Structure 1
Amino acid sequence: MSCINSSQVTVLEQINSGSTRVILGSKSPRRSELLYQVIPDFEVRSVEYAELYSEDLQGGDIAIYLSQLKSAAFAEAESNAMLITADTIVWMNDRIYEK
């Protein structure tokens, strides 16, 4: 069972009141489907960016870094909008398996 704290309620209230727009920075149908279950009113946008990362990064740090790159590519995101980006990698036996 999950517990919702007061800051999460405030964000949901802002979204539901229309004062905060939500932008999903992903073309992934699965991510859209998952987000729709929580926030049915959002905009889907995508940007092109180079998925390059340092060889020093490993595992989940690669996905976090790539997600941050994707967020940075959305330079025009409005201040009253919540931008959601994510990245998924397959990491097994200390190596990444590319898409």
Structure 2
Amino acid sequence: MIPKNLENYRIVLASKSPRRQQLLADLGIDFETEIHEVDEVFPEGLPMEEIPQYLARLKAEPFVETLKEKDLVITSDTIVYVDGEVLGKPADYEEAVAMLQKLSGRRHEVVTGVCLTSTTKQVSFASVTDVFFKELSQEEIDYYITHYKPYDKAGAYGIQEWIGYIGIERIEGSYFNVMGLPVQHLYEELSKW
């Protein structure tokens, strides 16, 4: 159900992620998708929660010039954070293996930043979820990467896939945030718009 205050808006989700698209659709919100490629580079020294918000705002920049009065663009970015290191999307098989080995048997944080942009204002926020992995065997890591090819996912895994079923012991925070969109927090922000 779309919040009443947004009934006359054209909502654009700037994401090619099928997971984000499905989550927004499941909220009952009609939207269009439009993507502008940007270099996802952030300044060194940003606090953990600021990184995906910075990247989400960066993704909103190409839209600013062409926004109309009742347009609302939703951009987002997700990072995996472990030991002070940001894990983005793996470039190849070896990098995916290294990421999953680093996450194996440990807690890490998944941080999704979301930016809402219209002609009159811009609001960004972040949600953090703690994820606890069991010790993963090399065989499990190889099986997952070979069969699921998680090269489009921060930290080289999708919680909703096989690795999530067998590897995640527990989470603290939003499950949907780990999928890439903190829908409860997003709905609250849209309701306040």
Q: TM-score, normalising length from structure 1?
A: 0.79
- Cα-Cα RMSD: 1.8
Q: Which residue of 2 aligns with 1:88?
A: 78
Q: Which residue of 2 aligns with 1:12?
A: 3
Q: Which residue of 2 aligns with 1:47?
A: 36
Give the Å deviation of 1:92: 0.6
Is 1:30 the counterpart of 2:19 in the alignment? yes
Q: Percent identity?
A: 34
CA distance in 2, matches of 1:29, 1:52: 23
- SS of 1:82's partner is strand
Runs ≥4 residues deviating over 6 A: none
Is 1:63 the counterpart of 2:52 in the alignment? yes
Cα displacement string for residues 1-29 of structure 1 (whole angstroms, at most 9, x for unaligned residues): xxxxxxxxxx712434xx21110011110
* Letter paired with 1:68: R
How many residues are treated as equivalent by the alignment? 88
Cα displacement string for residues 46-71 of structure 1 (whole angstroms, at most 9, x for unaligned residues): 00111111111132211000000001
Asked if structure 2 preserves the Cα contact closer than 8 Å seen for 1:58 and 1:94, the reply is: no
- Structure with bigger RCO (C-alpha 8 Å, 6+ apart): 1
Q: Which residue of 2 aligns with 1:72?
A: 61
Structure having the higher strand fraction is 2
Give the Å deviation of 1:36: 0.4
- SS of 1:35's partner is helix
In structure 2, relative to structure 1, the CA distance for the partners of 1:20 and 1:12 (3 Å cut) is same
* Letter paired with 2:76: A
* Letter paired with 1:98: G
